[in-house]
């Protein structure tokens, strides 16, 4: 199905997700890392259909809320292939995770240790990982650099906080400490930060063995694998990542006399972002007195907050008609009551761009709909999947009736 046909059939804004592309990227990770466990990071984007695809392609699932956990469970995703993490898990999340018997829970704070231990059963210990901060700064924006001290996640290795968390967990018979977890950041396009993290985490594994006489069998390096949003931008080379991480993990363990632990990784964006396109209809073209041109569309920061939050940059294309007009610089803006509601500043579109035109924004599959809001009570867009030139709706458009249904009185 053509994108123009999808827009006519399902309306705009619309997110079009290529099922074959998602599955292909899942397989690429399994083939590059055959001895590792690959878990898809649900926070990038999750619905029942994507949970099915992920399960069928042999990946695990990384969830971080009761909503993601319940949706995945309702879709039939095997709980033993799930991992739950989050810096402030609710009692409801912990109880549900234990009831479902999820494969792993990532401990992110000292208070979680006795709370989880009290809920778990000593006869069936819950497998847990400890989220550590290796002191490695990586990622495209300060808000997503999560591998260093001074932010809300995990336990710093430097200073002994991580070692203290390990000691407390090992003292709980209802918890089975399986390994160490870290997540360095987002949109990482170089392998170097992961290698530095491995060195520091393996050193901590050696310290744990010396102090407690146990070797933990797993290391989770998280995700954050970068993809290009603009032409010429770098992306993380998966083959290079797999080879160099495997080599560094083996050499670091050999240096400390450790058995090589099982590796876990959690890609999200790298699997789903390039597989989707967002479609918008132009509503207004406004020419400012200083020559600035605003092209306002029927979506905006409610379905894609990333430009406003992180200064994220996108490409945009006119589709559905040919134009011989010279390109001109325009700001593609949203419909919301915020001056910062700018989707693509400085875009180059044909000079005859006009109301009714259809615009496509590629690489739209991650952290757009999953972070979407109902600002100005504008409903979130529909999502359709395409496969074999056929489209089917996965998520319907949110309507005013949906908002009204939440009203319980006045």
pLDDT tier, 139 (very low <50, low <70, confident <90, very high otherwise): low
Given a cut of 70, is residue 30 above it in pLDDT? yes
* Mean pLDDT, rounded, for 379-384: 98
Mean residue pLDDT across the chain = 94
Do 281 and 182 lie in a common domain? no
- Domain termination site, one of 243, 267, 291: 267
The answer to the question of residue 24 being in a domain is no
Q: How many Å apart are CA 42 and CA 28, to the nearest integer? A: 18
φ, ψ for residue 64, nearest 5 deg: -140, 25
Per the structure, the complete domain to which residue 162 belongs is given by 33-267
Given a cut of 90, is residue 147 above it in pLDDT? no
Given a cut of 70, is residue 143 above it in pLDDT? no
Tokens linked to 192: 């170097």
Q: Work out whether the CA dihedral 27, 33, 39, 44 comes out positive or negative.
A: negative
CA distances from 30 to 26, 180, 237, 242 (A): 6, 21, 14, 10
pLDDT tier, 142 (very low <50, low <70, confident <90, very high otherwise): low
Do 291 and 240 lie in a common domain? no
Partners of 131 in the β-ladder: 181
Q: How many Å apart are CA 200 and CA 204, to the nearest integer? A: 6
* Mean pLDDT, rounded, for 395-409: 95
Do 243 and 280 lie in a common domain? no
pLDDT tier, 122 (very low <50, low <70, confident <90, very high otherwise): confident
Given a cut of 50, is residue 141 above it in pLDDT? no
pLDDT computed for residue 149 by the predictor: 59
Given a cut of 90, is residue 191 above it in pLDDT? yes
* Mean pLDDT, rounded, for 345-360: 97
Cβ atoms of 225 and 188 within 8 Å: the answer is yes
Given a cut of 50, is residue 399 above it in pLDDT? yes
337 flagged as catalytic: yes
Select which of 26, 64, 253, 337 is catalytic: 337
Given a cut of 50, is residue 248 above it in pLDDT? yes
CA distances from 397 to 232, 279, 393 (A): 34, 13, 10
Given a cut of 80, is residue 200 above it in pLDDT? yes
Do 212 and 300 lie in a common domain? no
Burial class of residue 54 (count of CB atoms within 10 Å of its CB; 0-12, 13-18, 19+): buried
Q: Using only C-alpha atoms, what is the Rg of the chain?
A: 23
Do 380 and 321 lie in a common domain? yes
pLDDT computed for residue 290 by the predictor: 84
pLDDT in tens, 305-315: 999 998 999 99
* Mean pLDDT, rounded, for 206-221: 97
* Mean pLDDT, rounded, for 248-253: 98
Cβ atoms of 64 and 85 within 8 Å: the answer is yes
Burial class of residue 405 (count of CB atoms within 10 Å of its CB; 0-12, 13-18, 19+): exposed
Cβ atoms of 370 and 63 within 8 Å: the answer is no
Do 86 and 234 lie in a common domain? yes
Structural domains of the chain, count? 2
Question: 149: domain CATH number?
Answer: 3.20.20.10
* Mean pLDDT, rounded, for 126-134: 96
- Domain termination site, one of 212, 240, 267: 267
Cβ atoms of 380 and 302 within 8 Å: the answer is yes
Please, which residues have CB within 8 angstroms of residue 342's CB and are 6 or more apart in sequence?
307, 308, 331, 332, 333, 334
Cβ atoms of 348 and 329 within 8 Å: the answer is yes
Do 127 and 191 lie in a common domain? yes
pLDDT computed for residue 150 by the predictor: 63
pLDDT computed for residue 138 by the predictor: 56
Do 72 and 208 lie in a common domain? yes
Q: CB count, 10 Å around CB of 322?
A: 6
49 closest CA partner among 400, 310, 383: 383
Question: 396: domain CATH number?
Answer: 2.40.37.10
Given a cut of 90, is residue 148 above it in pLDDT? no
pLDDT in tens, 170-180: 999 999 999 99
């Amino acid at each position: 199905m053509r994108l123009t046909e999808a827009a006519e059939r399902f309306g705009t804004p619309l997110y079009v997700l290529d099922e074959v592309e998602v599955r292909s990227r899942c397989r690429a990770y399994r083939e590059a890392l055959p001895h590792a466990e690959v878990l898809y990071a649900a926070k990038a984007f999750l619905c029942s259909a994507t949970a099915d695809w992920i399960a069928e392609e042999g990946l695990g699932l990384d969830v971080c809320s009761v909503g993601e956990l319940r949706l995945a469970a309702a879709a039939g995703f095997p709980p033993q292939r799930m991992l739950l993490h989050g810096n402030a898990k609710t009692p409801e999340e912990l109880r549900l995770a234990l009831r479902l018997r999820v494969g792993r829970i990532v401990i992110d704070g000292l208070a979680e240790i006795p709370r989880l231990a009290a809920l778990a059963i000593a006869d069936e210990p819950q497998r847990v990982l400890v989220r550590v901060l290796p002191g490695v700064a990586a990622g495209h924006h300060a808000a997503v650099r999560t591998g260093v001290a001074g932010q809300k996640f995990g336990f710093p290795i430097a200073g002994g906080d991580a070692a203290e968390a390990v000691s407390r967990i090992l003292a709980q018979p209802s918890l089975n400490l399986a390994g160490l977890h870290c997540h360095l950041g987002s949109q990482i396009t170089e392998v170097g930060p992961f290698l530095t993290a491995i060195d520091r985490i393996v050193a901590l594994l050696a310290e744990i063995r010396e102090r407690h006489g146990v070797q933990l069998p797993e290391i989770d390096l998280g995700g954050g694998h970068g993809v290009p949003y603009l032409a010429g931008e770098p992306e993380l080379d998966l083959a290079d990542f797999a080879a160099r991480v495997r080599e560094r993990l083996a050499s670091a363990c050999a240096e400390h006399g450790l058995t090589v632990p099982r590796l876990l990784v959690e890609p999200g964006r790298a699997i789903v972002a390039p597989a989707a396109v967002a479609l918008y209809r132009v509503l207004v073209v406004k020419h400012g007195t200083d020559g600035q041109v605003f092209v306002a569309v029927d979506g905006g920061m409610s379905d894609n907050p990333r430009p406003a939050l992180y200064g994220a940059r996108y490409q945009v294309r006119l589709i559905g008609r040919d134009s011989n007009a010279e390109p001109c610089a325009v700001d593609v803006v949203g419909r919301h009551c915020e001056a910062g509601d700018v989707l693509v500043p400085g875009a180059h579109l044909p000079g005859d761009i006009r109301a009714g035109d259809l615009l496509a924004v590629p690489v739209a599959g991650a952290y757009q709909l999953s972070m979407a809001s109902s600002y100005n009570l504008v409903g979130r867009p529909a999502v359709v999947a395409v496969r074999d030139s056929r489209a089917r709706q996965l998520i319907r458009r949110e309507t005013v009736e949906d908002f009204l249904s939440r009203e319980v009185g006045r």
